[in-house]
Structure formats: C-alpha cells, structure tokens
C-alpha cells in the first residue's frame, strides 16, 4: 500500500493529554518528515502500513496561539478524528472539545486510565459513554500501549469490534482496530456535539512543593536553572579535558589544510575555519545543547514542566510573560532555533516579547560554552555565578520595559496541573529529539555557512578593519580596543566570544568586572545571525530590525551600568 492509499486520522486534544505518546505507541515509530498543511513544525505524521496518524498541537482554548490555530486548521481538513481526553478531567474536556469535532467520523481515546480506579462502576461508565456517543470509546494508558491485555487475550478481532470493557484498559491492537473501523468503508457513527453522560471524574494531582505560595516559585526557578548548572559542571570537568585532545587530533589535518591555496586554507584552517572550530563545536556546543534538550525532555515527560509553569506564572505575569513563556526562554539555552519556533504555542500578546527575551537572555549552546571557556582561560571560573545573575536580572528588566500592557494582564495559559511521574527513556528522547533535529538540520548548516563567510572576511582583512573602527567605542565600557573584534564576531555567531581568550585581546590582564562586562556585551549586544534569521522567518523582517535596535540599546545601557558601577564598588 502506498502512502497515498493510507487513511489519514487526526488526533485532537488539549495539551498534556498524551497525544504524542499515543501516536508513538500505536505506530512504534518516530514521526515522518512531512509538513502538514504547509506548517514546518508542530503537527507530525506517524505511519503504519495503512494509517497516517497526525499528532496535532495541544488546543489551548483560553489562549490565542498559533499552535491552536494550526490544530483547528488540521481539524477542518480532517474526515476522521480521534478525540483524546484524559480520564482525570473527562467531563470538562468532552464539554469543551466535542463541539469542535461534531459531525466528524471517529473515536474517543480516554488517556490516563491508570489514574482511575478500574472498578466495575468505572468500566460501566465508559460503556455508557460509548453508547451515548455512538462511537468507540477506548480507555488506555498511553505510555504502555504495547502491554498485553490484563486477561492475556486478544480482545479485538479484525472486524473492528468494540473493546471489551471487562479488561483494565485497551492495548494498542484495540485502539488501532477501533480507528480502522471508524475510518473504513463501514465506519460507525459521527461524533456528537455533546454528551448526556457525566462521569464526575475530576482527579487532581496531589499538591507538592511547587504549589506553596513562596517556596513554590523559588523551587521552580531553581529547577529551571538546573540544566545550566549541569552544563557548567560538564564544561569544568569534561569539555575542558577533551578540548585539547580533540584539538591535537585535528592538528595534522589543519597543518595539511594550511598548505592549500589562500582562501581555501582560510576556510578550513584559519582562525574561523571549519577544522579550527571543530573542537569547540563538538566538544562544547553540541554536548551543551544535548544536556539542555535531555533535561528539559525529562521535565516535559515527567509532567514537571507544567508544574513549574503554573508555579512561576504569577511572578512572570508581572514582567509580561507567562510561566509557559519562561520555559521557552530557558529552552533557548540549548538552542535558540527550536526555542523561537516553539513560541508558536505562546499567546499572540506575549509571543514577540518571548522571542525578544530568548534573543536577549538565552545563552545558547554556542554562547554559553564560549562564555565558560573565557572564564576558565582567565582563571576566573567563579564568574559564571555573577554572570548568570546579571543575565537573568537584566533580561527581566528588559522584558518588563518592552512588554505590552495587555501581556501583564493575560490569564494563566495552562489548562491543568499535571501528575508527576518518573519519565521513561523513550519519552525523554521523544521530547529531546525535536531540539536535536532542529540543531542539526538548521543551526549546524547555518553555522558552517557563517564559518565560511567569517573566514573569507578575515582573509580579506575586513573583520580586523571593522574591529579597529569600533575600538574607540570600547573605551566607554572601560575595555581595551582589542575587545571590539570578539564583540563584532559574537553578533555574527556566539562562539566569537571565545576569541576573548586570545592573548591579543588583553583580557587576561583585566579585572573580574571588566572580564564580566566584555563577555556580557559580546553575548547580549545582538543576537547571532542564526537567531535573527529564524525570527525573521517566524515573524517578519521588520520585527527583527526593530528588535535589533532595541536590544543593542538596552545591552549597551546595561553594560555601561555594570562597568562603571562595578568600577566604583570594586
């Protein structure tokens, strides 16, 4: 059967109800590389031999988000839908979502069934709901769809019979059979706009430390900073040891490349050449990105992200962001590209502010390792603490200054508090894979292109002349003129900060405050070209231009304050 012969089934549901786990569990595969409805992200297609299962973004009815609009657009074009609702909040989700899918052929999958006590009464309620809706209703534990039925039998035949509710939950075979039955030539009834059955199931997760009035936001902030702490540990204990080893292994290739004609030698073996930057890229940048992707993937798979989101929202709302927006800003510490793309899930009134916060304060996997390398090179690794504190504080001030008034009045864009559970490795990888794919497919090619461009400009002497012109401006920040070149290159690519380790910049002779100012200015003055290009694609070129001017002005002002106040105090 060809892909065009496959029946297309669209999964519809709110956020964090298990749609992605359901799609992955049913197919046992990663999503195919396909754009859905012209979109480049969010909706993903999982395939079996005869089905295309489209996993749409979670619908957030109380927020005007692009991801919700995409999910509703996919729904408009769908003939067969599977409504995914949690057993822990079944009545509310059915009430909200049934009107959206009314008249569509399909089925209902009830996830989080493991949270419901599987009594005869509960199973009878599901049977009553199925009779009322006139479509298959499948209770499942979406995280364990490959589990054999509790009674050891195969309860669903090839004729698409309805699941036997005497069992604890449907397994993957049951769900696929019901979907095939719903989408096939002998499809059952259409989904109604409402149901007359009320389960009364409103199961709230037990309160944890995150729900405490004062301690909750503090603990949540520490949880979000944990990936940065792990990255610092990695840099100080692993990457610093591996860097000279990898660099030494590449020395013969670099020596060979230096014998090539001038421009080619510069592109491969110059200060900004592909081989020269190899150790930094694969020893520092890529592992840092993986650390953030895996830790944040574990947060998402465990339900911790939503708990942190809810706890931090009252605090972040005062500066013009929601708790969900802050998670995306932290995600930018791994890679700005997927972080900017993920803002499609932000409300329209906060999306541009969130993008500006990512551009300003998210030290990506190029910037953060380069910063750590500079601090290590000058013998001041302890500066990472003050650096992060200043970066967080100035980012919050910047966001408060640029956020529209309506952003500070926005409601909580989190539909429900999630249960906490130990994340499964497959679920962690499923969450982290998106960031890794974006890094490899988007950030790395652009990085390689920038390396080539920077190497050729350096070969022609353009970068040095540019740095000389800007040198006098460095005096305003109490920095040597030689610091201008790393600042300029950091605006092209954030690993340019690492040039501050060169003896020619004179950074080793600077005071701790001056080193801090140099690194801060290089990192924050402008976003790198990769981030700027991504923002232009996501929003507009006009917005990027305004954002660059605004960020440069704010960064310069903050750097001046840090430089001169620090000079007075220390």
Cβ(159)–Cβ(197) under 8 Å? no
Cβ(19)–Cβ(84) under 8 Å? yes
Q: Could you tell me which residues come within 8 angstroms of residue 561 by beta carbon, excluding any fewer than 6 positions away?
A: none
CA distance 317 to 401: 13
Q: Compute CA distances 271 → 285, 452, 458, whole Å.
A: 17, 11, 8
Q: Could you tell me which residues come within 8 angstroms of residue 128 by beta carbon, excluding any fewer than 6 positions away?
A: 197
**Could you give the 3-state DSSP secondary structure of residue 38?**
coil
Q: Could you tell me which residues come within 8 angstroms of residue 222 by beta carbon, excluding any fewer than 6 positions away?
A: none
Phi, psi at 319, each rounded to 5°: -100, -5
CA distance 495 to 235: 15
CB neighbours (10 Å) of residue 487?
26
Residue 9's H or E segment, with its range, is: strand 7-12
pTM comes to: 0.77
Cβ(9)–Cβ(80) under 8 Å? yes
Q: Residue 151: its pLDDT value, please?
A: 36
Question: 69-82: string of b/e by CB count within 10 Å (b at 16+)?
Answer: ebbebbbeebebbb
Q: Residue 397: its pLDDT value, please?
A: 95
The sheet that has 137-139: what strands, in order across it?
Answer: 44-47, 51-55, 7-12, 80-86, 105-111, 137-139
Cβ(156)–Cβ(163) under 8 Å? yes
Q: Could you tell me which residues come within 8 angstroms of residue 272 by beta carbon, excluding any fewer than 6 positions away?
A: 266, 451, 454, 455, 458, 489
Phi, psi at 85, each rounded to 5°: -135, 145
CB neighbours (10 Å) of residue 61?
11
Q: Residue 543: its pLDDT value, please?
A: 95
Q: Residue 443: its pLDDT value, please?
A: 66
- Distance from CA of residue 537 to its chain's centroid? 17
The whole-number mean pLDDT for each consecutive block of 10 residues of the chain, a chain of 570 residues, reads 67 84 77 40 75 84 76 81 88 88 86 75 83 86 55 36 45 76 63 82 78 87 85 76 82 88 88 76 76 84 83 86 85 84 85 94 84 84 91 94 78 63 80 74 72 81 76 85 79 76 69 91 90 92 95 95 86
Q: Residue 355: its pLDDT value, please?
A: 95
DSSP letter string over 148-175? PPTTSS----TT-PPP-TTSS---HHHH
N- to C-terminal Cα separation, the chain: 73
**Could you give the 3-state DSSP secondary structure of residue 347?**
strand
**Class of residue 222 by CB neighbours under 10 A (exposed 0-12, middle 13-18, buried 19+):** exposed
CB neighbours (10 Å) of residue 236?
15
**Could you give the 3-state DSSP secondary structure of residue 186?**
coil
Phi/psi zone of residue 28: left (φ > 0), alpha (ψ -120 to 50 degrees), beta?
left
Q: Residue 29: its pLDDT value, please?
A: 65
CA distance 489 to 501: 14
CA distance 246 to 353: 40
Cβ(402)–Cβ(550) under 8 Å? yes
């Amino acid at each position: 059967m060809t892909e065009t012969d496959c029946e297309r089934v669209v999964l519809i549901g709110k956020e964090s109800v298990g749609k992605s786990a359901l799609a992955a569990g049913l197919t046992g595969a990663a999503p195919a590389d396909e754009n859905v409805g012209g979109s480049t992200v969010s909706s993903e297609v999982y395939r079996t031999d005869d089905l295309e299962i489209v996993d749409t973004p979670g619908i957030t009815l109380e927020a005007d988000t692009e991801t919700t609009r995409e999910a509703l657009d996919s729904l408009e074009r769908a003939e067969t839908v599977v409504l995914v609702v949690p057993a822990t909040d079944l009545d509310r989700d059915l009430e909200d979502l049934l009107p959206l899918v009314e008249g569509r052929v399909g089925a209902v999958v009830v996830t989080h069934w493991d949270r419901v006590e599987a009594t005869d009464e509960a199973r009878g309620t599901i049977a009553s709901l199925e009779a009322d809706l006139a479509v298959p209703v499948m209770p499942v534990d979406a995280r364990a769809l490959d589990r054999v039925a509790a009674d050891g039998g195969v309860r669903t035949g090839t004729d698409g019979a309805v699941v036997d509710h005497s069992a604890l939950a449907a397994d993957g075979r049951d769900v696929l059979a019901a979907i095939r039955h719903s989408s096939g030539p002998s499809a059952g009834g259409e989904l109604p706009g409402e149901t007359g059955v009320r389960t009364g199931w409103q199961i709230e997760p037990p309160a944890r430390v995150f729900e405490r009035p004062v301690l909750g936001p503090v603990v949540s902030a520490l949880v979000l900073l944990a990936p940065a702490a792990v990255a610092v540990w990695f840099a100080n204990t692993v990457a610093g040891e591996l860097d000279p080893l990898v660099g030494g292994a590449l020395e013969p290739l670099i020596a060979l490349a230096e014998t090539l004609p001038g421009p080619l030698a510069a592109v491969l073996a110059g200060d900004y050449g592909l081989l020269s930057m190899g150790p930094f890229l694969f020893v520092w940048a890529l592992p840092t990105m993986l650390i953030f992707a895996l830790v944040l993937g574990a947060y998402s798979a465990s339900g911790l992200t939503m708990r942190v989101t809810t706890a931090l929202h009252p605090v972040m709302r005062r500066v013009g962001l929601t708790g969900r927006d802050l998670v995306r800003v932290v995600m930018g510490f791994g890679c700005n590209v997927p972080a900017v793309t993920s803002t499609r899930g932000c409300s329209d009134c906060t999306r541009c502010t969130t993008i500006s916060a990512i551009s300003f304060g998210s030290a990506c996997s190029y910037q953060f390792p380069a910063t750590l390398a500079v601090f290590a090179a000058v013998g001041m690794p302890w500066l990472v603490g003050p650096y992060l504190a200043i970066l967080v504080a100035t980012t919050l001030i910047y966001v408060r200054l640029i956020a529209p008034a309506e952003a500070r009045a926005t409601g909580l864009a989190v539909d429900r508090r999630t249960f906490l559970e130990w994340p499964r490795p497959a679920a962690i990888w499923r969450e982290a894979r998106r960031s890794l794919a974006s890094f490899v497919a988007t950030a790395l090619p652009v990085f390689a292109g920038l390396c080539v461009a920077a190497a050729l400009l350096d070969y022609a002497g353009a970068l040095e002349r540019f740095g000389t012109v800007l040198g006098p401006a460095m005096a305003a920040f109490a920095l040597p003129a030689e610091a201008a070149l790393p600042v300029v290159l950091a605006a092209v690519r954030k690993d340019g900060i690492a040039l501050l380790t060169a003896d020619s910049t004179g950074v080793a002779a600077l005071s701790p405050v001056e080193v801090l100012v140099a690194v801060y200015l290089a990192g924050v003055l402008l976003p790198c070209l990769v981030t700027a290009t991504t923002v232009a694609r996501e929003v507009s070129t006009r917005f990027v231009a305004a954002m660059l001017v605004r960020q440069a002005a704010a960064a310069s002002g903050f750097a001046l304050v840090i430089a001169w106040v620090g000079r007075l105090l220390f």
